[in-house]
Amino acid sequence: MNPIVGQIPYRMFRAWGWPVVMPLNYTISLTTRCNYRCATCRIYQSNLPEMAIEDYRKLFTSLGRSPYWVTFSGGEPFLRDDFEDIVDLCCGICRPKLVNIPTNGSMPDRTSVVVRDLANRHPKINFIINVSLDSVGEEQNSIRGNRDAWRNAVSTIKALKKDQPANLLIGIGTVISKNNLTGFEKQRSELAKLGADSMVAEVAEKRAELLNQDLDITPSPEEYEPIADHLIKEIDLSKKKGWAGIAQSFRRQYYGYVYRILQGKSGLPCYAGFASVQIMPDGAVWGCCIRGDGMGRLSDHGYNFKKLWHAPQARQTRKMIKARQCACPLANASYTNMVFDLPTSLKVIRDLIF
């Protein structure tokens, strides 16, 4: 997709409701099951029914080649026995450019074998697996609610690094919450020693998806500011080139954007429900996972996403999203919004050049 010309239909779609174009960023939550009990999340309480693999076949067929970036999340996605088959189906039918898989790293052997097989089977697709590490040692175990969380995550990264395919990027994903603010810089130094290809971070949020709206987890602006400064400094000290450099530059902008949102400042125009979308395990389609505004259920449309996307309920949800002018730091949606924001894109280009 041409980065300039490709934006035009989406800008028209958001402004006027026409033409109705398919999203380019899909988050597909495969399960709400989880074998950890994290301090920032209660998704395991949802106990949602799960779509069958044949339902996913119908879904992916209806998506066609529209997906550019697909995230397969949970819960813990590797708890699904058919996880590899579902991702393989998507890659074969939709052929996205990027597949992102977040995991708690609880199953080192299974995770490394499955991800390596997928990457080797689809060499033209870039795979990113982000292993969740919010701290080190016992603090990681405490935050993640499992006494083996640290050991498992470290073992997963080591297993993934063996015979690592060229199209597989191994990342560390950190949730910044009130639980891991103390000694953050030291934690990052220890995590860097694990040798992952990237280290990304996002702020803990209250999400409809995670059933955590009553938890006090989000840092204040004052608590987050020094952490954002450190994350930006990390990027400035390790500039990369090519696709990795572009992703890094967007992350740099994202960390500053989160600080502005936490201060209560207005956010970027939101393209959730237009260019990005969330599909839940039971086939419910949301504009995003923060508010959980329903756009319809795939089962009501024969698992044909295009029919749902054009239906009245989806149109009504998009009107709500556009009118509400939400401001949240949800990473997945924010990266999409930044792509469509000209000032942010110009800053990314500046960072790449200078």
State pLDDT tens for residues 232-246: 999 988 877 777 788
Q: How far is it, in rounded angstroms, from Cα 180 to Cα 192?
A: 16
93 pLDDT higher than 60: yes
Whether residue 113 lies inside any domain: the answer is yes
Written in H, E and C, the secondary structure of 64-107 is CCCCCEEEEECCCHHHCCCHHHHHHHHHHHHCCCEEEEEECCCC
Domain of 40: which CATH number?
3.20.20.70
Question: Is residue 121 in some structural domain?
Answer: yes
Q: pLDDT tens digits, residue range 230-280?
A: 999 999 888 777 777 888 899 999 999 999 999 998 888 999 999 999 999
The boundaries of the domain holding residue 138 are 22-353
Give yes or no for a contact between 258 and 329, defined as CB atoms under 8 angstroms apart: yes
Per DSSP, the three-state class of 126 is: strand
Residue partners of 279: CB distance under 8 A and separation at least 6: 26, 27, 28, 29, 59, 285, 286, 298
Q: Is the pLDDT at 226 greater than 90, yes or no?
A: yes
Rounded Cα distance, 73 and 104, in Å: 10
d(CA 63, CA 95): 10
The reply to whether 257 falls in a domain is: yes
Buried b (16+ CB within 10 A) or exposed e, 198-213: bbbbbbbbbbebbbbe
Assigned domain for 15 exists? no
**Structural domains in the chain (count):** 1
> CA angle, corner 237, sides to 354 and 339, nearest 5?
55
By CB atoms closer than 10 A (0-12, 13-18, 19+), residue 338 is buried
pLDDT range class, residue 29, cuts 50, 70, 90: very high
Q: Is 272 a domain residue? A: yes
pLDDT value at 173 more than 90: yes
**Residues 119, 304, 102: CA angle, nearest 5 degrees:** 35
Residue 73 in contact with residue 28, Cβ under 8 Å? yes
Q: What is the mean pLDDT of residues 225-230?
A: 96
In a domain, 87, yes or no: yes
Q: Is 5 among the domain residues?
A: no
Asked whether the predicted pLDDT for residue 5 surpasses 70, the reply is no
User: What is the per-residue pLDDT for 352?
Assistant: 80
How far is the C-alpha of 106 from the C-alpha of 153, rounded, in Å? 6
* H/E element, 323: helix 312-324
Residue 13 lies in a domain: no
